[in-house]
């Protein structure tokens, strides 16, 4: 094959050519300079970030014959053989196709021999997580104590599938996604080296689609080179790769935020006409709202992986909206992405969902409504009490004698109008004051003395009335066993469900002489309640609820019948006990079933 794709043609051959893995590259170079290279190295990370590339570079660096330059030099015979793929001492194995124990046994046999042309034998196993458990176990001993002339290099995208026994024997390097800025610069250099020109916006789209993977970005860039145009425009990238135009996404974002219906529904029409992937479109749109939200949070702009031009545009747009609004819209978009997966009419669902997101601004938060209500209440004039307190009225109301006059008319039908008797102020205010028993009326005191005497009498009667009301209220709130038994069952149910169920099976409840008699015709219904600890607990519940000491007593029928003999030996009695067993009742409730035929006796065994 004469043509090499860009991903193979531009593969790094030295550490200096590796993109975006500076810390790992520096660690590997220092280990080579200090002669502290581990015998087993594991590279992990997402696709296209340089795992296999670093493994091959390390294989060349270990066997490099140069001494006065940084290894690998790329010009010695060992480096040239490894780069050409003809080195006999480099074994590069695909873990997906050579995953069995037999392949590992053959590999171990090859490791027994010394290298032929290089200094060391290097084993590179790509996608090592695909090996079987037996193959990993066969590799354990060799991996822990390999021969002095052997090095292992592993690469995987799913490190969690590798046994911990293998991980503990390897030096691990986790490769990160390549930042957008470094990808942009790298792709710009490759485009110039291939004699192509590309618009910055078009290159930004390719970087965004790469998702931090160099290989994915190179494949997209190679596809655009095959398009045939020397100058690659943004519209060309959108059409060839089937992407959503950046301007369309920005128009949609502004339309959802500014409540512009036309700027929302019209771009949707274009998206559906072009046959674009709705799921991918929603992911890109949510990415825009995420970038806007991060721009509103102080110190979070470094989390936005975008070129500087795009980042400046997002920061300018985010200044017009609050973080709460952006967060609300993003949450609604996430809900739409979940609903659209199961919709039979995705276009209609998407349009109605976008209309819902636009109208979400009309919904006020509960805290805002409560704040407005508090403000209205504070603005209202303070309402004066319609009547003074009872004691204040008694102390301040003047006591005057009411002169007899004509009776007031009564509007009650069927009753004869009668004049009301003359008012007696002192007696009406204090009903507890006994009438005076005097033969002759004493001399009438002055008006001010008469008023002072009436007020003193009323004030003296208030404590008595208050005590009397408290006694009446206390008697009214006293709980009765017969009347409040359902409430007591609910009280016990909140604490012990099974105990409440057993109490409901009581055939008769009676309170007598401070004792609560619970009658059970079937002793099995209260067998658990009669246990000492449960009986004590039930007594505590009754004391807490009824607020009075009550002794609980279980009334059961006689255990023996003089005519039929012992009831315990009766088959009917055994069936009844088995049917009412708490475990059986609980099982029927859990499985929503019912007790069928119950067999007892020798035949049932």
Query: What's the pLDDT at 40?
Result: 94
Interatomic CA distance for residues 490 and 233, integer angstroms: 75
pLDDT tier, 534 (very low <50, low <70, confident <90, very high otherwise): confident
How many other CB atoms sit within 10 Å of the CB of residue 133? Answer: 9
**Dihedral (C-alpha) 287, 288, 290, 295: value to the nearest 10 degrees?**
140
Yes or no: say if 61 and 32 are a contact pair by the CB < 8 Å rule: yes
Interatomic CA distance for residues 291 and 341, integer angstroms: 24
Residue 125 β-bridge partners: 93, 154
Instruction: Give domain status of residue 206, yes or no.
Output: yes
**Is the pLDDT higher at 604 or at 217?**
217
Q: Are strands 121-126 and 90-94 parallel, antiparallel or unpaired?
A: parallel
Q: Find the CATH number of the domain harbouring 200.
A: 1.10.8.60
Yes or no: say if 451 and 399 are a contact pair by the CB < 8 Å rule: yes
Q: What's the mean pLDDT in 270-278?
A: 77
Strands (E), 143-256: 150-156, 171-174, 197-198, 231-232
- CB neighbour list of residue 217: distance below 8 Å, 6 or more residues apart: 48, 183, 187, 206, 207, 209, 210
Q: What's the mean pLDDT in 520-534?
A: 83
pLDDT tier, 489 (very low <50, low <70, confident <90, very high otherwise): confident
Interatomic CA distance for residues 40 and 38, integer angstroms: 5
Q: What's the mean pLDDT in 485-504?
A: 86
In this structure, the answer to whether residues 287 and 265 fall within a common structural domain is yes
- Domain boundary (115, 146, 174) is at 174
In this structure, the answer to whether residues 163 and 61 fall within a common structural domain is yes
**Is the pLDDT higher at 427 or at 1?**
1
How confident is the model over 377-414, as pLDDT tens digits? 888 765 444 444 444 444 444 444 444 444 444 444 44
Query: What's the pLDDT at 45?
Result: 92
Gyration radius of the chain's alpha carbons:
46
Query: What's the pLDDT at 219?
Result: 92
Query: What's the pLDDT at 449?
Result: 56
The total number of structural domains that make up the chain: 3
Q: Which of 251-255, 424-428, 476-480, 598-602 has the lowest mean pLDDT?
A: 424-428
Residue 174 β-bridge partners: 44
In this structure, the answer to whether residues 170 and 194 fall within a common structural domain is no
Q: Given a cut of 70, is residue 545 above it in pLDDT?
A: yes
In this structure, the answer to whether residues 138 and 192 fall within a common structural domain is no
How confident is the model over 320-369, as pLDDT tens digits? 888 888 888 889 999 888 888 888 888 888 888 888 888 877 666 677 77
Yes or no: say if 559 and 539 are a contact pair by the CB < 8 Å rule: no
Is the peptide bond preceding residue 367 cis, with omega within 30 degrees of 0?
A: no
In this structure, the answer to whether residues 156 and 28 fall within a common structural domain is yes
Q: How far are the Cα atoms of 106, 128, 165, 273, 330 from residue 96, in angstroms, in the given order? A: 16, 8, 20, 41, 40
- Domain boundary (129, 150, 174) is at 174
In this structure, the answer to whether residues 292 and 198 fall within a common structural domain is no
- CB neighbour list of residue 468: distance below 8 Å, 6 or more residues apart: none
pLDDT tier, 419 (very low <50, low <70, confident <90, very high otherwise): very low
| CA-based nearest residue to 30, from 56, 63, 61 | 61
| CA-based nearest residue to 61, from 100, 90, 86 | 90
| 3-class state of residue 333 by DSSP | helix
How confident is the model over 280-329, as pLDDT tens digits? 888 888 988 999 999 888 888 878 877 777 788 888 888 888 888 888 88
Q: Given a cut of 60, is residue 442 above it in pLDDT?
A: no
Q: Which of 109-123, 299-313, 344-358, 454-468 has the lowest mean pLDDT?
A: 454-468
Q: What average pLDDT is seen over the chain?
A: 78
What is the token pair recorded at 125? 């196993």
In this structure, the answer to whether residues 303 and 201 fall within a common structural domain is no
Query: What's the pLDDT at 382?
Result: 55
Interatomic CA distance for residues 518 and 553, integer angstroms: 6
Yes or no: say if 10 and 190 are a contact pair by the CB < 8 Å rule: yes
How many other CB atoms sit within 10 Å of the CB of residue 560? Answer: 11
Interatomic CA distance for residues 282 and 272, integer angstroms: 13
What is the token pair recorded at 415? 């009753």
Q: What's the mean pLDDT in 243-270?
A: 83
In this structure, the answer to whether residues 94 and 147 fall within a common structural domain is yes
Interatomic CA distance for residues 473 and 481, integer angstroms: 18
Q: How far are the Cα atoms of 397, 485, 540, 546, 551 from residue 514, in angstroms, in the given order? A: 49, 15, 15, 12, 7
Q: Find the CATH number of the domain harbouring 286.
A: 1.20.272.10
What is the token pair recorded at 150? 């052997």
Yes or no: say if 520 and 506 are a contact pair by the CB < 8 Å rule: yes
Q: Given a cut of 70, is residue 441 above it in pLDDT?
A: no
Instruction: Give domain status of residue 575, yes or no.
Output: no
Residue 123 β-bridge partners: 91, 152
Instruction: Give domain status of residue 278, yes or no.
Output: yes
- Domain boundary (362, 384, 400) is at 362
In this structure, the answer to whether residues 46 and 165 fall within a common structural domain is yes
Task: Work out whether the CA dihedral 179, 185, 186, 190 comes out positive or negative.
Answer: positive
**Is the pLDDT higher at 1 or at 519?**
519
- CB neighbour list of residue 535: distance below 8 Å, 6 or more residues apart: 529, 552
Instruction: Give domain status of residue 436, yes or no.
Output: no
**Dihedral (C-alpha) 83, 84, 87, 92: value to the nearest 10 degrees?**
70
Q: How far are the Cα atoms of 273, 284, 351 from residue 342, in angstroms, in the given order? A: 21, 20, 15
Altogether, the residues listed in the chain come to a count of 605
Place of tokens 């002192």: 426
What is the token pair recorded at 74? 């790329």
Q: Find the CATH number of the domain harbouring 48.
A: 3.40.50.300
Query: What's the pLDDT at 460?
Result: 56
Q: What's the mean pLDDT in 439-467?
A: 52
**Is the pLDDT higher at 425 or at 522?**
522
Q: Given a cut of 90, is residue 272 above it in pLDDT?
A: no
Query: What's the pLDDT at 73?
Result: 87
Q: Given a cut of 60, is residue 196 above it in pLDDT?
A: yes
In this structure, the answer to whether residues 30 and 80 fall within a common structural domain is yes
Q: Given a cut of 80, is residue 244 above it in pLDDT?
A: no
pTM: 0.55
Instruction: Give domain status of residue 332, yes or no.
Output: yes
Percent with pLDDT over 70 in the chain:
79
Yes or no: say if 538 and 552 are a contact pair by the CB < 8 Å rule: yes
Instruction: Give domain status of residue 468, yes or no.
Output: no
Percent with pLDDT over 90 in the chain:
19
Q: What's the mean pLDDT in 193-200?
A: 89
In this structure, the answer to whether residues 154 and 31 fall within a common structural domain is yes
The secondary element (H helix, E strand) that includes residue 213 is none
Q: What's the mean pLDDT in 245-249?
A: 79
Instruction: Give domain status of residue 26, yes or no.
Output: yes
| 3-class state of residue 147 by DSSP | coil
In this structure, the answer to whether residues 169 and 254 fall within a common structural domain is no
Domain boundaries, position 214: 180-241
Q: Which of 5-14, 184-193, 200-209, 449-458 has the lowest mean pLDDT?
A: 449-458
pLDDT tier, 469 (very low <50, low <70, confident <90, very high otherwise): very low
Task: Work out whether the CA dihedral 481, 482, 483, 489 comes out positive or negative.
Answer: positive
Q: What's the mean pLDDT in 468-475?
A: 44
Instruction: Give domain status of residue 433, yes or no.
Output: no
Place of tokens 């209260």: 526
Interatomic CA distance for residues 221 and 561, integer angstroms: 98
């Amino acid at each position: 094959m004469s043509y090499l794709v860009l991903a193979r043609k531009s593969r790094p051959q030295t550490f200096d050519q590796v993109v975006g893995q500076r810390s790992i590259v520096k660690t590997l170079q220092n280990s080579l300079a200090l002669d502290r290279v581990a015998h087993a190295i594991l590279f992990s990370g997402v696709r296209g970030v340089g795992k296999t590339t670093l493994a091959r570079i390390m294989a060349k660096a270990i066997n490099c014959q140069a001494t006065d330059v940084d290894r690998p030099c790329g010009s010695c015979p060992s480096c040239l053989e490894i780069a050409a793929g003809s080195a006999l001492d480099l074994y590069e194995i695909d873990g997906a196709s050579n995953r069995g124990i037999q392949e590992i046994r053959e590999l171990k046999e090859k490791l027994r021999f010394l290298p032929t042309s290089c200094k060391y034998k290097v084993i590179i196993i790509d996608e090592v997580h695909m090996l079987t458990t037996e193959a990993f176990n066969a590799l354990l001993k060799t991996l822990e104590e390999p021969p002095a002339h052997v090095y292992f290099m592993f690469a995987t995208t799913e490190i969690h599938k590798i046994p911990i026994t293998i991980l503990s024997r390897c030096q691990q390097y986790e490769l990160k996604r390549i930042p957008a800025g470094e990808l942009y610069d790298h792709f710009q250099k490759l485009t110039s080296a291939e004699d192509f020109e590309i618009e910055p916006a078009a290159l930004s789209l390719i970087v965004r689609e790469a998702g931090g993977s160099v290989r994915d970005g190179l494949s997209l860039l190679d596809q655009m080179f095959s398009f045939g145009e020397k100058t690659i425009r943004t519209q060309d990238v959108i059409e060839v790769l089937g992407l959503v135009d950046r301007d369309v996404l920005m128009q949609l974002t502004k339309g959802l935020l500014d409540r512009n219906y036309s700027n929302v529904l019209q771009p949707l029409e274009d998206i559906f006409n072009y046959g674009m992937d709705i799921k991918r479109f929603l992911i890109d749109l949510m990415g825009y709202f995420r970038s806007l939200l991060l721009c509103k949070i102080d110190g979070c702009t470094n989390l936005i992986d975008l070129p500087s031009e795009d980042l400046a545009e997002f920061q300018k747009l985010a200044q017009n909206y609050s973080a709460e609004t952006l967060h609300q819209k993003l949450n609604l978009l996430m809900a739409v992405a979940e609903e659209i997966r199961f919709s039979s009419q995705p276009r209609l669902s998407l349009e109605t969902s976008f209309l819902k997101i636009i109208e979400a601004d009309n919904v006020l938060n509960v805290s805002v409504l409560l704040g407005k209500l508090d403000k209205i209440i504070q603005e209202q004039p303070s309402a004066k009490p319609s009547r003074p307190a009872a004691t204040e009225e008694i102390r301040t109301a003047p006591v005057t004698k009411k002169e007899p006059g004509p009776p007031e008319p009564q509007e009650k039908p069927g009753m004869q109008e009668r004049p009301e008797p003359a008012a007696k102020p002192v007696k009406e205010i204090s009903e507890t004051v006994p009438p005076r028993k005097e033969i002759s009326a004493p001399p009438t005191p002055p008006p001010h003395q008469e008023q002072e005497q009436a007020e003193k009498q009323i004030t003296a009667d208030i404590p008595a009335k208050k005590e009397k009301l408290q006694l009446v209220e206390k008697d009214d709130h006293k709980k009765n066993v017969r009347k409040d038994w359902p409430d007591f069952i609910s009280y016990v149910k909140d604490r012990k469900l099974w105990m409440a169920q057993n109490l409901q099976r009581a055939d008769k409840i009676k309170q007598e002489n401070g004792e609560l008699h619970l009658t059970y015709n079937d002793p099995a219904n209260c067998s658990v309640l009669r246990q000492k600890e449960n009986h004590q607990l039930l007594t505590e519940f009754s004391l807490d609820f009824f607020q009075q000491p009550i002794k609980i007593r279980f009334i059961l029928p006689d255990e023996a019948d003089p005519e039929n003999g012992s009831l315990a030996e009766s088959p009917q009695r055994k069936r009844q006990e088995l049917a009412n067993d708490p475990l059986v009742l609980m099982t029927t409730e859990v499985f929503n079933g019912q007790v069928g035929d119950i067999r007892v006796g020798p035949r049932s065994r």
